[in-house]
């Protein structure tokens, strides 16, 4: 996994509330689509017209936002279905960090598995960022700095954000959960041994 330390990049404003993962990766394209191709179906209902051509009004089809590596999203971003394809699709578009007032809980966990950083900031701050990005697209370069836990917008003061210590250190090192847990196999075995005594009915054949 690619470590996430500090990223300075174009940020695309997509400030709408409750964008769900059915929009980010619609079911009709999903079954059997390989992970590497998910970028191609990202936001399909908005990104493409019915005939398959690009919808020029959609922000991610516009310059310079095609090159965006940061997404500025609305409240409750990526709520709904647990499909991890939503993360893979963003990744396919080149997005490495999403700034929003809040995320669907399953999506946020999925982000960490692919080295994408979800940044939660207050609604007015995120809405302000979105306005900055819209008003001056070509200078809309934001810095998301996980080392110092702050976002530096093109204008104005750096804004601090909170990151779980565990998630932060994993992202900084490019470790996913599995790498961390593998160091604890003996603890897990000990838990199960004691638990088999406490709750034998949970373990078939014990």
Query: Which residues form the interface with other proteins (CB under 8 A)?
Result: 15-18, 20, 22-23, 26-28, 30-32, 35, 45, 74-76, 79-84, 87, 102-106, 109-110, 113-114, 164-166, 176-178, 180-182, 184-185, 187-188, 191-192, 195, 198-205
Quote the CA–CA distance of 71 and 74 in Å, as a whole number: 10
Nearer to other proteins, 136 or 166 (CB): 166
Q: What radius of gyration do the chain's Cα atoms show? A: 19
- The β-bridge relationship of strands 117-120 and 97-100 is parallel
Quote the CA–CA distance of 87 and 132 in Å, as a whole number: 25
Q: Min. distance of Cβ 150 from other proteins in angstroms?
A: 19
Structure tokens at 2: 């690619």
Nearer to other proteins, 20 or 62 (CB): 20
Nearer to other proteins, 9 or 79 (CB): 79
Q: Min. distance of Cβ 181 from other proteins in angstroms?
A: 5
Q: Min. distance of Cβ 184 from other proteins in angstroms?
A: 6
The residue written with tokens 């059997």 in the block is 32
Q: Min. distance of Cβ 45 from other proteins in angstroms?
A: 6
Nearer to other proteins, 110 or 143 (CB): 110
Strand order in the sheet with 141-145: 117-120, 97-100, 70-73, 6-14, 141-145, 150-152, 159-160
Helix (H, G, I), strand (E, B) or coil at 30: coil
Structure tokens at 195: 């638990």
Q: Min. distance of Cβ 139 from other proteins in angstroms?
A: 25
Nearer to other proteins, 10 or 100 (CB): 100
């Amino acid at each position: 996994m690619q470590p996430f330390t500090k990223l300075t990049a174009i940020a695309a404003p997509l400030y709408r509330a409750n964008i769900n993962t059915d929009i980010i990766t619609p079911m009709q394209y999903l079954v059997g689509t390989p992970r590497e191709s998910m970028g191609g179906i990202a936001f399909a209902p908005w990104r493409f017209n019915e005939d398959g051509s690009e919808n020029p009004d959609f922000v991610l089809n516009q310059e310079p936002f095609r090159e965006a590596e940061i997404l500025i999203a609305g409240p409750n971003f990526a709520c709904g279905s647990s499909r991890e394809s939503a993360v893979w699709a963003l990744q396919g578009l080149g997005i490495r960090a999403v700034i929003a007032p809040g995320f669907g809980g399953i999506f946020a966990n999925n982000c960490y598995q692919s080295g994408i950083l979800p940044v939660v900031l207050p609604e007015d701050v995120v809405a302000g960022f979105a306005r900055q990005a819209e008003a001056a697209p070509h200078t809309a370069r934001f810095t998301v700095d996980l080392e110092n836990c702050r976002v530096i917008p093109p204008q104005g003061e750096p804004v601090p954000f909170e990151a779980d210590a565990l998630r932060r250190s994993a992202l900084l090192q490019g470790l996913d959960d599995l790498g961390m847990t593998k160091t604890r196999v003996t603890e897990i075995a000990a838990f199960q041994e004691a638990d088999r005594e406490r709750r034998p009915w949970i373990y078939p054949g014990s």
